[in-house]
């Protein structure tokens, strides 16, 4: 990993990092367009330009003003239709970025994701190329209840033909989104809602960050905590607490779930011999289960303890705050899992 | 269109009750201890009351993210509704759902729904059950102009039509879906036109005119009850409030917002009642005290009431 000097770095929110990645890509390539519900709110098509929302969280704010409404298209609430149009636009020569708002709405257009976007290249014997990105907000914590809080990480990862990206920091958000837009495959880009307002240092110039390479957020020699997306922030907090007890934890942001950096993960766990995987989402058929299986296959003899897993409870996400807090992975539960792995 | 004075006065009280509830929700939400986000029904009261006041308790409705008005009009009690808004065990859904998911099956409310268009097909299925069981119930689905662009509405209208199901489609067209104006996102000037494509009678109603709304609902419910099949009502009114409580509506012109507030069904019905000799001031005072008191105690009780027990986190995922 190259470490930039601090003079080349600027502080940026996760939200702005995403916005930067999109505007950078749109400037560089006129085939890149964005579409989605409320990204422009009809502004420029009868309604005034100013005040356009830029999507629910404001990620696409300002794009309409710079690129105009041919490349920044507000859509009706028609997830099946707009996702199909995204697939078709990619096949027709554009590089569309669809804002689907929440991942919980993806079931409305799952045919387009599973049967069309993911399979068409394969089934056409390599003729179809599908350079498209579907961005979705994921995750709980906002008391938004079950129909606005899913992560669905393993659901997308399960489908051959899709790439799945889960940034944890502004730097990752910007670099991975640029790489996703440049990629010739359908990419599912999952943004945890708790991250939008977080800040971090990013390099001055936007550059792509390779898909399929994990990021080491904290060096440590006693155990590895591998995290999916926003869980990395919890993993970092847990590592701080563990450090006070003299446990030196390495924290990893997986960055992409497909492709997954198995080699990188094996290299890390070879050093520490202990692994805890943290993922927001129910435990069955999960990313944590998948990683536990593959690390077992590679490192069975070297592990000093069974692989620890921290997931959400096996329920839809509850509305009530104490229930939601109990449902979600927490720093305390990560620390607890690390203790179990350390004292096995 | 004239409806009886008694009906109009009764419905005015019902609408006012919803208005008082929603105004209180808005105020209390501002205090910051109501979790999540809420969407209020202010300005749409004639639709829920016009329809639900003519339904039986056993009739079924499906609602939306903006569902408080539907629930109240269908007879759901205030206190457990408020407890649900606060995520308490005493809430209608024991705190599992919140504002966007209020359901009360004992009153025929099959649930608010946070998936835009999510309730439409469910109402069609409920009507299928009623038709198959021959129990005389009808189903009504409420949805917004934004939901009118979901494919599921079209599939559901076709299904309801070919099976002649006892269902009423009620499109609440407030001109906006979040920040997107209906004039931009909908291909026709009246959503009701689309019903014709499925051989369903469709009407456009001014939802700031209570009597018109009441009569349209009466005809549609009767048609369903008689076994003559589905109807479509597009109830138009301008959105008076932000999409959610706290939405500053930066995307909307000041004039548009102002003129929307001037077309208010409560104010309009009040004038109509007064012109027919009713002392509306007395009703407003009486209800202000009555509902105000009920709301005072409901909010106080909700705030004081128990959270769900976290040991029961996994309850209700499956039927036993
Ligand atoms: C399937 C789905 N897509 C998008 C959303 C986000 N969303 C919530 S409410 C809303 C606007 C709905 O507009 P409309 O149906 O007109 O109802 P209104 O809010 O105006 O009452 C949108 C886009 C959602 N909840 N579900």
Specify the ligand 1 atom closest to the Cα of B117. Answer: 1
Residue A15, H or E segment: helix A14-28
Residues B119-157: b if buried by 16+ CB within 10 A, e if exposed: bbbbbbbbbbebbeeeeebbbbbbbbbbbbbbebbeebb
Task: Return the bridge partners of A188, or none.
Answer: A134, A164
Q: What is the mean pLDDT of chain A?
A: 95
Asked if A318 is an interface residue toward chain B (Cβ–Cβ < 8 A), one would say yes
Residues A17-65 pLDDT 10s = 999 999 999 999 999 999 999 998 767 565 566 668 899 999 999 999 9
What is the DSSP code string of A196-220? TT-EEEEESS-----TT--EEEE--
Model pLDDT, residue A14: 98
Measuring from atom 8 of ligand 1, which residue has the nearest CA? B116
Q: How many whole angstroms separate alpha carbon A109 and alpha carbon A112?
A: 5
Model pLDDT, residue A42: 64
Helix axes A287-299, A262-272, angle to 10 degrees: 70
Specify the ligand 1 atom closest to the Cα of B143. Answer: 15
Q: How many whole angstroms separate alpha carbon B29 and alpha carbon B36?
A: 10
What is the DSSP code string of A272-291? H--EEEE-SS-STT-HHHHH
- CA-based angle A65:A132:A58, to the nearest 5? 35
Model pLDDT, residue A1: 40
How close is the nearest chain B Cα to the Cα of A82, in Å?
10
Residues B79-89 pLDDT 10s = 999 999 999 99
The DSSP output letter for A30 is T
- List, in order, residues 6 or more apart from A21 with CB less than 8 Å away: A173, A174, A175, A177, A178, A181, A206
Contacts of B310 in chain A (CB under 8 A): 322-323, 326
Is A323 near ligand 1, meaning CB less than 6 Å away? no
Model pLDDT, residue B320: 86
Model pLDDT, residue A5: 56
- Nearest CB among A37, A56, A319 relative to B87 is that of A319
Judge contact between A152 and A138, C-beta under 8 A.
yes
Which is higher by pLDDT, B1 or B312? B312
Residue A121, number of CB atoms within 10 A of its CB: 18
* Superfamily in which the B5-243+268-312 domain is placed by CATH: Thiamin diphosphate (ThDP)-binding fold, Pyr/PP domains (3.40.50.970)
Model pLDDT, residue A47: 59
Is B145 near ligand 1, meaning CB less than 6 Å away? yes
Residues B184-239 pLDDT 10s = 999 999 999 999 999 999 999 999 999 999 999 999 999 999 999 999 999 999 99
**Chain B interface mutation, best of A53, A85, A150, A320, highest count of B Cβ atoms under 10 Å:** A320
- Nearest CB among B98, B181, B186 relative to A47 is that of B181
Judge if the upstream peptide bond of residue A259 is cis by omega within 30 degrees of 0: yes
The number of CA neighbours under 13 Å toward the Cβ of B69 is 28
Q: Do A144 and B310 touch (CB under 8 A)?
A: no
Contacts of A41 in chain B (CB under 8 A): 178-181, 251
First to last CA, chain B: 51
Residue A344, number of CB atoms within 10 A of its CB: 11
Measuring from atom 4 of ligand 1, which residue has the nearest CA? B116
How large is the average pLDDT for residues A133-151?
A: 97
Residue with tokens 């296959």: A297
Closest chain B residue to the Cα of A325, Cα to Cα: B310
Is B113 near ligand 1, meaning CB less than 6 Å away? no
The number of CA neighbours under 13 Å toward the Cβ of A116 is 19
Asked if A284 is an interface residue toward chain B (Cβ–Cβ < 8 A), one would say no
How large is the average pLDDT for residues B158-165?
A: 98
**What's the burial of A287, exposed, middle or buried (CB within 10 Å: 0-12/13-18/19+)?**
buried
Residues A214-229 pLDDT 10s = 999 999 999 999 999 9
Residue A85, number of CB atoms within 10 A of its CB: 18
Asked if A43 is an interface residue toward chain B (Cβ–Cβ < 8 A), one would say yes
Q: What is the mean pLDDT of chain B?
A: 97
Question: Does the pLDDT value for residue A2 go beyond 50?
Answer: no
Q: Using the mean position of ligand 1's atoms as its centre, give its distance from the Cα of residue B77 in Å.
A: 26
Of A38-47, B157-166, B179-188, give the lowest mean pLDDT range: A38-47
Judge contact between A269 and A251, C-beta under 8 A.
no
Model pLDDT, residue B251: 87
How large is the average pLDDT for residues A101-107?
A: 97
In 3D, which of A31, A32, A55, A33 has the Cα closest to residue A43? A55
Q: Do domains A9-203 and A215-343 have the same CATH topology?
A: yes
In 3D, which of B95, B116, B32, B317 has the Cα closest to residue A318? B95
Asked if A108 is an interface residue toward chain B (Cβ–Cβ < 8 A), one would say yes
Q: Using the mean position of ligand 1's atoms as its centre, give its distance from the Cα of residue A306 in Å.
A: 45
How large is the average pLDDT for residues B241-265?
A: 93
Residue A19, H or E segment: helix A14-28
Query: Residue ranges per domain, chain A?
Result: 9-203, 215-343
pLDDT tier for residue B250 given thresholds of 50, 70 and 90: confident
pLDDT tier for residue A181 given thresholds of 50, 70 and 90: very high
Residues A191-214 pLDDT 10s = 999 999 999 999 999 999 999 999
In CATH, the number for domain A9-203 is 3.40.50.970
Q: Do A74 and B185 touch (CB under 8 A)?
A: yes
Q: How many whole angstroms separate alpha carbon A235 and alpha carbon A142?
A: 20
Specify the ligand 1 atom closest to the Cα of B144. Answer: 15
Q: How many whole angstroms separate alpha carbon A59 and alpha carbon A38?
A: 11
- Nearest CB among B95, B115, B253 relative to A323 is that of B95
In 3D, which of B67, B63, B61, B49 has the Cα closest to residue B213? B49
Q: Do A146 and B101 touch (CB under 8 A)?
A: yes
The question of whether A148 is a catalytic residue gets the answer yes
Is B176 near ligand 1, meaning CB less than 6 Å away? yes
Q: How many whole angstroms separate alpha carbon A92 and alpha carbon A75?
A: 19
Share of chain B above pLDDT 70, in %: 100
The DSSP output letter for A17 is H
From B40, B42, B45, B65, give the residue whose CB has the most ligand 1 atoms within 8 Å, as the site to mutate. B65
Q: What are phi and psi of A106, to 5 degrees?
A: -60, -30
Residues B53-76 pLDDT 10s = 999 999 999 999 999 999 999 999
Q: How many whole angstroms separate alpha carbon A234 and alpha carbon A249?
A: 13
Closest chain B residue to the Cα of A328, Cα to Cα: B313
In CATH, the number for domain A215-343 is 3.40.50.920
Question: Does the pLDDT value for residue B78 go beyond 60?
Answer: yes
Q: How many whole angstroms separate alpha carbon B25 and alpha carbon A24?
A: 43
Of A45-49, B94-98, B166-170, B269-273, give the lowest mean pLDDT range: A45-49
From B178, B183, B191, B242, give the residue whose CB has the most ligand 1 atoms within 8 Å, as the site to mutate. B178
Secondary structure of chain B in HEC code, one letter for each residue: CCCCHHHHHHHHHHHHHHHHHHHHHHHHHCCCCCCCCCCCCCCCHHHHHHHHCCCCCCCEEECCCCCHHHHHHCCCCHHHHHHHHCCCCCCCCCCCCCHHHCCEHHHCECCCCCCCCCCHHHHHHHHHHHHHHCCCCCEEEEEECCHHHCHHHHHHHHHHHHCCCCEEEEEEECCEECCEEHHHHCCCCCHHHHHHHHCCCEEEEECCCHHHHHHHHHHHHHHHHCCCCCEEEEEECCCCCCCCCCCCCCCCCHHHHHHHHHCCHHHHHHHHHHHCCCCHHHHHHHHHHHHHHHHHHHHHHHHHCCCCCHHHCCCCCCCC
Q: Using the mean position of ligand 1's atoms as its centre, give its distance from the Cα of residue A3 in Å.
A: 44
Q: Are strands A199-203 and A187-192 parallel, antiparallel or unpaired?
A: unpaired
Residues B11-29 pLDDT 10s = 999 999 999 999 999 999 9
Residue with tokens 């076994």: B227
């Amino acid at each position: 990993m190259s470490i930039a000097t601090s003079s080349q770095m600027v502080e940026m929110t996760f939200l702005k990092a995403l916005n930067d990645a999109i505007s950078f890509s749109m400037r560089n390539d006129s085939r890149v367009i964005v579409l989605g519900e409320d990204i422009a709110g009809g502004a420029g098509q009868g309604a005034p330009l100013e005040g356009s929302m830029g999507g629910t969280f404001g990620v696409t704010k300002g794009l309409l003003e710079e690129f105009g409404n041919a490349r920044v298209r507000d859509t009706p609430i028609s997830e099946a239709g707009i996702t199909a149009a995204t697939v078709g636009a990619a096949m027709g020569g554009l590089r569309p970025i669809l804002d689907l708002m929440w991942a919980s709405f993806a079931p409305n257009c799952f045919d387009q994701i599973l049967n069309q976007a993911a399979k068409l290249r394969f089934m056409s014997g390599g003729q179809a190329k599908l350079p498209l990105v579907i961005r979705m907000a994921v995750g709980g914590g906002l008391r938004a209840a079950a129909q606005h809080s899913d992560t669905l990480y393993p659901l997308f990862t399960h489908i051959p033909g899709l790439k799945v990206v889960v940034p944890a920091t502004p730097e990752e958000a910007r670099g991975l989104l640029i790489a996703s837009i440049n990629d010739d495959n359908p990419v599912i880009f999952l943004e945890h809602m708790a991250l939008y307002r977080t800040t971090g240092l990013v390099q001055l110039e936007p550059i792509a960050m390779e898909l399929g390479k994990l990021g080491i957020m904290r060096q440590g020699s006693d155990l590895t905590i591998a995290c999916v997306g926003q869980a990395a922030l919890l993993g970092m907090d847990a590592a701080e607490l563990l450090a006070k007890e003299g446990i030196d934890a390495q924290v990893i942001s997986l960055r992409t779930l497909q492709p997954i950096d198995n080699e990188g993960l094996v290299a890390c766990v070879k050093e520490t011999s202990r692994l805890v995987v943290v993922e927001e989402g129910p435990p069955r058929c999960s990313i944590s289960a998948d990683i536990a299986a593959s690390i077992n296959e590679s490192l069975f003899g070297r592990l000093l303890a069974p692989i620890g897993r921290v997931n959400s409870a096996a329920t839809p996400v509850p509305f009530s705050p104490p229930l939601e807090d109990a449902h979600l992975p927490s720093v305390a539960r990560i620390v607890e899992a690390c203790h179990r792995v350390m004292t096995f | 269109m004239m409806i009886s004075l008694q009906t109009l006065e009764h419905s005015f009280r019902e609408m006012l009750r919803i208005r008082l509830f929603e105004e209180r929700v808005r105020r209390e939400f501002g205090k910051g201890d109501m979790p999540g986000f809420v969407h209020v029904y202010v300005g749409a009261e004639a639709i829920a009351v016009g329809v639900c006041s003519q339904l039986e308790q056993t009739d079924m409705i499906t609602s939306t993210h903006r569902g408080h008005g539907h629930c109240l009009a269908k007879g759901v009690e205030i206190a457990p509704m408020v407890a649900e808004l606060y995520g308490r065990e005493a809430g209608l859904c024991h705190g599992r759902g919140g504002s966007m998911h209020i359901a009360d099956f004992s009153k025929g409310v099959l649930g608010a729904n946070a998936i835009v268009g999510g309730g439409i097909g469910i109402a069609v299925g409920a009507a299928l059950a009623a038709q198959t069981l021959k129990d005389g119930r009808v189903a009504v689905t409420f949805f917004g102009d934004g939901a009118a662009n979901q494919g599921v509405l079209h599939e559901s209208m076709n299904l309801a039509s070919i099976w002649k199901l006892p269902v009423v489609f009620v499109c609440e067209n407030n001109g906006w879906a979040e920040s997107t104006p209906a004039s931009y996102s909908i291909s026709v000037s009246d959503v009701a036109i689309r019903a014709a494509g499925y051989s369903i009678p469709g009407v456009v109603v001014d939802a700031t005119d209570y009597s018109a709304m009441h009569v349209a609902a009466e005809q549609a419910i009767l048609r369903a009850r008689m076994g003559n099949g589905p109807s479509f009502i597009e109830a138009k009114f301008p959105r008076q409030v932000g999409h959610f409580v706290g939405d500053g509506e930066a995307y909307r012109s000041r004039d548009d917002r102002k003129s929307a507030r001037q077309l208010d069904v409560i104010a309009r019905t009040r004038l109509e009642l007064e012109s027919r000799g009713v002392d509306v001031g007395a009703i407003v005072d009486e209800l202000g005290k009555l509902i105000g008191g009920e709301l005072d105690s409901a909010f106080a009780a909700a705030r004081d009431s128990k959270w769900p027990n976290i040991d029961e986190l996994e309850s209700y995922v499956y039927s036993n």
